[in-house]
Amino acid sequence: MAKHHIEATVNGDAVEFLCETEETLLDVLRDTLNLTGSKEGCASGDCGACSVMLDGRLVCSCLVLGCEVSGHKVETIEGMAKGESLHPLQQQFLKSAALQCGICTPGVLVASKALLERSPDPTETEVRYWLAGNLCRCTGYDKIVSAVMDAAATLRKG
Amino acid sequence: MRYEAPDSLEGAVALLAGAQGEARVLAGGTDLLVQMRADVLDPDLIVDIKKIKETRAVTEEKGGWRIGAAVTGAELKEHARLKKAWPGVVEAANLIGSTQVQGRATLGGNLCNGSPAADSVPALIAAGAVATLVGPKGKRDLPVEDVMLGPRKLALGKGEIVASFLLPPRAARSSDAYLRFIPRTEMDIAVVGAGVSLTGAVAARVLLVAEAAQAIVGSRLDVPAQERLEAAARAACRPIDDKRGTVEFRTQVAGVLARRAALIALDRARSNS
Stretch (H or E) spanning B122:
helix B120-126
- One fold for A4-79 and A88-157: no
Lowest-pLDDT range, A145-149, B127-131, B269-273?
B269-273
Rounded average pLDDT over B49-64: 97
- CB contacts of A67 in chain B (<8 Å) are 3, 5
Residue of B nearest to A61 (CA): B100
Is B231 in the A-facing interface, judged by CB distances under 8 Å?
A: no
Find which of B74-78, B203-207, B263-267 is predicted with most confidence, using mean pLDDT: B74-78
What 3-state DSSP class applies to B57? coil
What chain A residue is nearest to B1 in terms of C-alpha separation? A21
Contact of B149 with B114, CB cutoff 8 Å: no
The reply to whether residue B48 touches residue A68, judged by beta carbons under 8 angstroms, is yes
Residues β-bridged to residue B46: B3, B24
Domain range annotation of chain A: 4-79, 88-157
CB distance B143 to B152 below 8 Å: no
Residues of B in Cβ contact (< 8 Å) with A134: 98
CB-based contact A41:A135 (threshold 8 Å): yes
What does the pLDDT read at residue B270? 86
Q: Looking at residues A19-31, what average pLDDT do you find?
A: 98
Q: Touching check for B33 and chain A: CB below 8 Å? A: yes
Give me the residue spans of the domains in chain B: 55-167, 186-271
Query: How many angstroms separate the Cα of B22 from the Cα of each of A33, A108, B41?
Result: 31, 37, 9
Asked if residue B31 lies in contact with residue B109, where contact means CB atoms within 8 angstroms, the answer is: yes
A24 touches chain B (CB under 8 A): yes
* 3-class secondary-structure state, position B204: strand
CB-closest option in A44, A68, A132 to B34? A44
Interface test with B, best of A26, A38, A59 (most B CBs within 10 A): A59
Give the end-to-end CA distance of chain B in Å, rounded to a whole number: 53
User: At the fourth CATH level, which superfamily is domain B186-271?
Assistant: CO dehydrogenase flavoprotein, C-terminal domain (3.30.390.50)
Q: Give residue-wise pLDDT tens across range B163-209.
A: 999 999 988 888 888 888 887 777 777 777 778 887 654 444 444 56
Among A96, A71, A69, residue whose Cα is nearest residue A154: A96
Contact A45 B1 (CB under 8 A): no
pLDDT score of A32 more than 80: yes
Given the candidates 3.30.1300.10, 1.10.600.10, 3.30.465.10, 1.20.1740.10, the CATH classification of the domain at B55-167 is: 3.30.465.10
pTM as predicted: 0.91
- Based on its alpha-carbon atoms, the radius of gyration of chain A, rounded to whole angstroms, reads 16
The H or E element spanning position A148 is: helix A142-157
By the CB < 8 Å criterion, does B34 face chain A? yes
Residue B193 main-chain phi, psi, to 5 deg: -135, 150
Instruction: Please tell me the class of the A4-79 domain.
Output: alpha beta
Is the pLDDT assigned to residue B151 strictly greater than 90? no
| Residue A135 contacts B where some CB pair is shorter than 8 Å | no
Q: Using the beta-carbon criterion (under 8 Å), do A21 and B101 form an inter-chain contact?
A: no
Are A114 and A134 within 8 A, CB to CB? no
**Around Cβ B140, how many Cβ atoms within 10 Å?**
12
Query: Considering only CB atoms, which chain B residues are within 8 Å of A63?
Result: 28-30, 33-34, 100-101, 104
* Residue B203: per-residue pLDDT: 40
Range A106-130 average pLDDT:
97
Superfamily of domain A88-157: [2Fe-2S]-binding domain (1.10.150.120)
What is the interface size between A and B, counted as CB pairs within 8 Å? 88
**ipTM of the complex, rounded to two decimals:** 0.94
